[in-house]
């Protein structure tokens, strides 16, 4: 099989870092791989051409059974605070095939997820089930279409082998694409080994790879902390904008480059409730919708702890400087959140009562169990269902206040609707529609998933015959739950 004409251009820099940070590791071969889905749009973005390779050979490639020349597979080491508890971790079921350069010289990690045991697997089998891998494909590609920084999904392959979770499930390998897989937990791992020389090597690598603009800074470490903090604030603001709940915001799932990473027990909020949790393992609501800003601040504080010695030679002074930076989080976040909510409501400029107006709407939505996405659609005159909830007297009173506010700052209907349509999705991956797609895929029916993916490609645009994808799930006594998949 000739893989050289696909267009791979590997330049593997991470694998040259100290051995403490990684282990050379090939994917464990699988019996009879079968290609389930290939992301043709992403292939083009990567300047890769798979059209001359048949499905059988693509299955061999995306299962890791056969590797292209130039790849250099490794498993990365990292640590993490998982639900607040520190653990030494690593790629327990993933292998980084290599770093691919596009024609624009953009660098992308190409990673297999579910590719078998590594030295970091602990008691795990290193494998993944088809459902969770397809969930990551669907949600990550939807996040990309929604304009949210994210890892992406290039392909999913069934392995022809079962994995044992609570039952026997079909195994799968996902090919994940990322700007890099360097995490807060990567720095925590090195900090825990107390090898200062490795910390400096990793730090310099991150600056060179992701943030060369701060190379000439007087205090690179402080500027890196501030840069990563701002990227994570922007990311969480995006999550709050679209009602996304990550579900497992451990420090090993916080990317240094600011992408959403690890779509385990993630989901989208239907009925607005700031305390919404979907993850089956989050019993205390640590990673609930409203807690996401607090948790990202906590995770950033853990990052700051790792680079104190690089911020200042004097540890006490370093702690003081880092603390000051972390303590600026709330002010930056609140300002950005307020501006994001102004955009969702089509408000230009600032008014002293904006926060009150916004909180009154959210309070009403919570009390009346209104759908988060569809409420903003209703305000944009997207009346796709006969929902009497918006005839509520208190809502109508609020709406009058909102309409009065819209008249300020030379606003017009054309202007505010254009702004609202740019930030309020008409379509999100509704949890029950995702589950329908996954259930059908498990029965070898890919039509349901492909239809869903097509609809999710244009979340801000009007489309024909999509009412079914806009409707909240039918009322049920059961709370929707998501699972990690490990």
The count of other CB atoms within 10 Å of the CB of residue 55 is 12
Exposed, middle or buried, 129 (CB in 10 Å: 0-12/13-18/19+)? buried
Residues in the chain: 486
CA distance 42 to 379: 34
Cα 218 to chain centroid, rounded: 32
Q: Rounded to the nearest 5 degrees, what angle is found at the Cα of 183, between the Cα atoms of 178 and 185?
A: 150
CB 64 within 8 A of CB 173: yes
Tell me the catalytic residues. Answer: 252
CB 309 within 8 A of CB 199: yes
CA distance 179 to 393: 49
Specify the DSSP class assigned to residue 254: B
**Of 454, 482, 438, the residue nearest 269 (C-alpha):** 482
Exposed, middle or buried, 375 (CB in 10 Å: 0-12/13-18/19+)? buried
Phi–psi pair at 425, nearest 5 degrees: -70, 145
Alpha-carbon distances of 77 from 186, 228, 240, rounded to whole Å:
7, 20, 30
Exposed, middle or buried, 45 (CB in 10 Å: 0-12/13-18/19+)? middle
Instruction: Render 97-135 in DSSP notation, one character per residue.
Output: EEEEE-TT--EEEEEEESB---TT-TTS-SBEEHHHHHH
CB 124 within 8 A of CB 38: no
Exposed, middle or buried, 150 (CB in 10 Å: 0-12/13-18/19+)? buried
Q: Which residues contact 115 (CB under 8 A, 6 or more apart)?
A: 27, 28, 63, 64, 93, 94, 95, 126, 173
């Amino acid at each position: 099989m000739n893989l050289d004409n696909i267009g791979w251009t590997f330049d593997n820099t991470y694998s040259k870092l100290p051995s403490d940070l990684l282990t050379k590791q090939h994917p464990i071969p699988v019996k009879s791989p079968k290609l389930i889905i290939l992301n043709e749009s992403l292939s083009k973005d990567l300047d890769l051409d798979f059209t001359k390779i048949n499905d059988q050979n693509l299955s061999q490639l995306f299962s890791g059974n056969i590797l292209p020349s130039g790849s250099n597979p490794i498993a990365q080491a990292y640590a993490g605070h998982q639900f607040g508890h520190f653990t030494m971790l690593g790629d327990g079921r993933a292998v980084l095939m290599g770093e691919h350069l596009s024609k624009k010289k953009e660098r992308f990690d190409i990673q297999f997820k579910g590719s078998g045991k590594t030295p970091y697997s602990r008691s795990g089998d290193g494998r993944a089930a088809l459902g969770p891998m397809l969930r990551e494909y669907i949600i990550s590609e939807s996040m990309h279409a929604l304009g949210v920084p994210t890892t992406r999904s290039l392909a999913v392959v069934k392995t022809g082998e079962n994995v044992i979770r609570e039952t026997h499930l079909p195994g799968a390998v996902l090919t994940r694409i990322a700007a890099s897989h360097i995490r807060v937990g990567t720095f925590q791992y090195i900090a825990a080994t107390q090898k200062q020389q490795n910390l400096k090597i990793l730090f310099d690598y991150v600056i060179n790879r992701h943030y060369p603009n701060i190379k000439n800074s007087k205090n690179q470490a402080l500027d890196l902390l501030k840069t990563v903090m701002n990227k994570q604030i922007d990311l969480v603001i995006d999550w709050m904008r679209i009602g996304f709940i990550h579900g497992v915001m451990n420090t090993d799932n916080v990317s240094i480059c600011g992408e959403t990473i690890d779509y385990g027990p993630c989901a989208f909020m239907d009925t607005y409730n700031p305390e919404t949790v979907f993850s089956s393992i989050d019993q205390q609501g640590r990673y609930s919708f409203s807690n996401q800003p607090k948790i990202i601040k906590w995770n950033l504080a853990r990052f700051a702890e790792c680079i104190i010695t690089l911020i200042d030679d004097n540890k006490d002074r370093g702690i003081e400087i880092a603390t000051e930076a972390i303590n600026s989080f709330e002010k930056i976040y609140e300002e950005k959140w307020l501006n994001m909510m102004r955009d969702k409501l089509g408000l230009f400029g600032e008014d002293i009562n904006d926060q009150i107006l916004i909180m009154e709407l959210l309070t009403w939505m919570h009390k009346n169990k209104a759908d988060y996405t569809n409420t903003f659609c209703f305000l944009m005159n997207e009346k796709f269902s006969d929902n009497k909830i918006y005839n509520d007297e208190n809502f109508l009173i609020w709406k009058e206040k909102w309409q009065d506010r819209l008249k300020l700052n030379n606003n017009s209907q054309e202007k505010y609707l254009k702004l609202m349509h740019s930030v309020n999705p008409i379509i999100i991956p509704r949890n029950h529609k995702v589950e329908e797609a996954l259930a059908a895929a498990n029965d070898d029916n890919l039509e349901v998933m492909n239809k869903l993916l097509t609809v999710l490609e244009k979340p801000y645009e009007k489309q024909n015959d999509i009412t079914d994808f806009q409707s909240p799930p039918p009322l049920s006594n059961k709370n929707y739950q998501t699972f990690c998949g490990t």
